[in-house]
Amino acid sequence: MIGRRGHPGENGALANPVSQDRSVKVTIHAAKTTLSQLIERAHAAEHAGQLRIAHRDPVDRMLIAQAQTEDMWLVSNENAFDSMGVRRYW
């Protein structure tokens, strides 16, 4: 018989509570990481909307905002990024 959480397994023992505790901790860590990434993206999206540039492409604006807010390099052959205060490789 295969044991289910909270039910006796083959040997009559309950599922390992330490294993369950680790699973809960991993789940909480994943949720916090996801929330942190969403907050960073929301911040970059807000920044993208406030950019005072003539470039209207929303994807490019988001790339520029993320590069600025997260101190990242852009990998692109688009020369227009050079005047936007981001580091570009290509």
Mean pLDDT of 4-30: 63
CB atoms within 10 A of CB 48: 20
Integer Cα distance of 75 and 89 in angstroms: 5
64, 81 contact by CB (below 8 A): yes
Question: The pTM is what?
Answer: 0.53
Domain residue spans in the chain?
Answer: 17-89
Q: Does residue 8 register a pLDDT over 60?
A: no
Q: Does residue 1 register a pLDDT over 50?
A: no
Average pLDDT taken over every residue of the chain: 75
pLDDT in tens, 40-67: 777 777 878 888 887 778 888 888 888 8
Task: Give the pairing of strands 73-75 and 87-89.
Answer: parallel
